[in-house]
Structure 1
């Protein structure tokens, strides 16, 4: 397979390429230095993509050890209740089962849990460091987000569907390449989204507006985006801001970006955390994407036509959004969705919590709600600006670039002279922030 990858380079650059596996080297011969140099550059890019493909070909699953008060000895797979999520009757969620721990077992488990959490943290940090090195080599724009949702198992050991499947055996299974799962980002329907937004507005001790710590949460107005996918031999994705207020009776296409949906160039790194003591699992997602320097006039015109033809609907929170209804048909497999986005700052952290309400513009389906978290610092370091490429190589060697130390860092983390000893402290603060949001969402959903 590797040797076949050289064929286009051999033809285009007029070179001879041989792979000497036993010497771990590639030999390139050409009649001119220019042909040889060009071929070497293309070989390097091919190898970078091969390494990135290997890193991103499957998700990495990490099982979060539950506290002793919640822990049980077994894990069992249960059928997915929501028809909207389940694609196959064999799809499974997981839950704890079997006997509860005795008092002595609880004490032993708490010690083991600390060790497992430390091990998980190291595995996560090492995996991120390696991934950044592989992905930064591609010189593509990247985007990193924390997504909240549910892990749905697709491929798993058959005995997991029966009682008696031990917790340790389950953790081992999730580390095997044969295990397969989907991460369902939909946390619920639109109504749940309204419930989460109301709960956030009632929690000024935990959230505040992005640019005004003393502002009222209920005064925050959402952003709206049109996500239009043009599907064909070559597929494209247009992400466009749209006005929430109507100008002259119709919506207008605002600032927009066009991306090429090329599977060979688009990489997705997923590290997914399975949590037993929460309604939601979470995943750290890093995507590379090719943003085109010039937009397609035809795609922009189609997107503007969709907005211009739309009527204005208002949801139960009195926020307007455009809709065309199910009678309007898009071409082929094209899709168009309206994203209504509410953003809040998590107090005392650099992180933004985002509640997404997604609706199809040409659909009578009610839509869904998503929840995510990110830092503007991530976007600053992963953007497409060429001047930042050399800086991005630091992402793999020092986690403080993306996970800066919290402002109230404990003195014990510093050696004499102020030198930082524990460079993972900002990373741990990030994990604590994720846990805080995960708990908040879980409790909000559980409230009657």
Structure 2
């Protein structure tokens, strides 16, 4: 298909073919107005004729001199390159987010798989392999896997608005559920990646109903090699999804997340926050929503820690012990409620902590609600604490809901004023901070919105939740923990 133009130019005798990159650049699409504008400008400025072959994603360039062709190629590469973090930028750190690649990832896969590299080896291969054979296996696996991801990359380039228009949360996840598959081939994985090619990072610790839903999400969407081509399935090892306390610190390109195991009283009569493994996640540079953890429903108390620390992307300068040591806990009147939580000034000064402004993700608006739902994939870059490196899950898919106006609220805050009180953040950003029965607006609105979230995800369960959301409406004579009903009893 020839490039469109008012003036038909004569083709030169010299021809060259420019193959567009699999990702990071615009596709050779004659229906893409922006791309064709680039082609027309290059034709005019470099005295060349360009034909677009969309089927093979390449350009045939005709000119009278090799210099004209070289300049045209350079101009096309420069003009069609997509900005990392932009709306249409897809690059390895995004596409391969759920998968730990490289020799370390392959080694971890072998350690986790009893039969070693059997899924990726010839049936005639011996049980034991030497270093050279191992290297070939590793290279073969990586190349095959990257090739499929690159093919998927060509299908998922789209602006966020286009993605929102043609994809909905229910359709996306329900399609996976209806397949009722327990393992993935490369082709099936490719189809999942096409629809899960979203940017952003957050944890998979949200309460989403029954344990069956956890099984569905983890086995249908969790893009890890030992899951889509498993030797021994890990379905039987899955635990019920339960509410967790989660502490999140974030940089422009890294998120550090640690689970709060419990709060214990020390000999000095001070409450000590015991934290679990801290994990480092890579995330996109541009920000849109807000990092949030709504984490303590069993104590009728939601807290949101949103802090931002400037640290190198590939390193974690602090451990979970550092965070615990510099955490200030204020015990609440009700001993069963989770204490108020803040980071001590020493930690703020040492690690330049300030409030986070947001993150990127694929967002779905809930009808009739101020809340949105986000779906994203993430990968773990590093971990400290009690983690077993060989058994550290490499990534996954997360679903969470939030209020879009939080970003504007945080932007309006004066960053130079110093660290904000966490309780103030909760009251301002999350209207159901304590969920008291006397707060009719907070309780009733919360029940309605949880019902909306439940309606979106309940279709994924093989069995309905034990108790319907409508039963969660608070009674005057009984104080009901709204979120406890989402656990399995």
TM-score (norm 2): 0.28
TM-score (norm 1): 0.30
Greater RCO structure (CA 8 Å; 6+ sep): 1
Larger radius of gyration: 2
